[in-house]
Amino acid sequence: MNTITKSTLSASSLIIDFLPADYIDAYEYIVNTDNITNKNIEPEKILLNFNIEQPKWINFLVKLRNILVKPFGLKTDDDLLKGKIVAENENETVLQLSDSHLTTEVSIYLDFLEHNKLKIVCATLVHYHNKLGMFYFFAIKPFHKVIVKSLLRKSIK
């Protein structure tokens, strides 16, 4: 089984244009493209797959989050990735989500390797606008890491 590991931002990544950030993470998933039925792999499609058929436990966490943040006036969309594409090329798509407390960029970067291997890097940058943003992300950070890994793995299947 392929594993998802901590990664770094590629020097050629479009998401670098959004630095500096208050929080940065990146995870990579190396897959054998021989095992993928649809060879038309695009970064935007992977990001879109993040929203399709999310595991029930993620849906539960989103609903719980919406209940908890509503009193603070934060967005309560069930769709975590409602945002706008702010940068893209054939190997990467960067999606930006913005709220009053923070702005987040999520990137899917594709690096085609030798021997029919594909490295998919999912990077996240977070910019706090105020203390609420800092506290909010501190509270969801442990879930963020697990959710990103789960969605990355699921989006390729």
Average pLDDT over residues 51-73: 63
pLDDT at 151 over 90: no
Assess contact for 108 and 118: CB atoms under 8 A.
no
CA dihedral of residues 122, 117, 92, 107 (deg, nearest 10): 0
- Under 8 Å CB-to-CB from 105, ≥6 apart: which residues? 15, 18, 21, 86, 94, 95, 96, 97, 123, 124, 125
CA 75 to chain CA centroid, Å, is 18
The pair phi, psi for residue 22, each rounded to 5°, is -80, -25
Average pLDDT over residues 72-77: 61
User: pTM score, two decimals?
Assistant: 0.81
Lowest mean pLDDT among 34-43, 110-119, 132-141: 34-43
Strand order in the sheet with 102-113: 4-6, 23-32, 117-128, 102-113, 92-98, 84-89
| pLDDT tier at 69, thresholds 50, 70, 90 | low
Residue 33: predicted pLDDT: 78
How many Cα atoms occupy the beta-carbon half-sphere of 118 within 13 Å?
A: 19
Residue 134: predicted pLDDT: 94
